[in-house]
Amino acid sequence: MRVISAYDPKEFKHVSTCQQCHTRLEVTIKDFLRVIHDQRDGSATVYRCPMCNHENWVDLKLIPPQFHYLLEKGKP
């Protein structure tokens, strides 16, 4: 078998702002702690701000689908 193309999780970066201290952050797949599935609000993934330790939610729709399996399994 030969791989034609693959997505490298190291290439994914998401720019986000902490909801508590308003620090702008560049978040990678490894920074997300867990996935939360909520029937009312939809699915999200969570990262913790390194400045204030606040947990911030990012809508799962903002994460490319090719990386979702890494979020569900844990750290890449």
H or E, element range at 73: helix 68-73
Ranking 7-11, 14-18, 50-54, 67-71 by mean pLDDT, the lowest is 7-11
Distances (CA, A) of 27 to 2, 13, 38: 31, 6, 22
pLDDT at 76: 45
Chain centroid to Cα 66, Å, comes to 12
Mean of pLDDT over the chain:
89
What pTM, to 2 d.p., does this model score?
Answer: 0.80
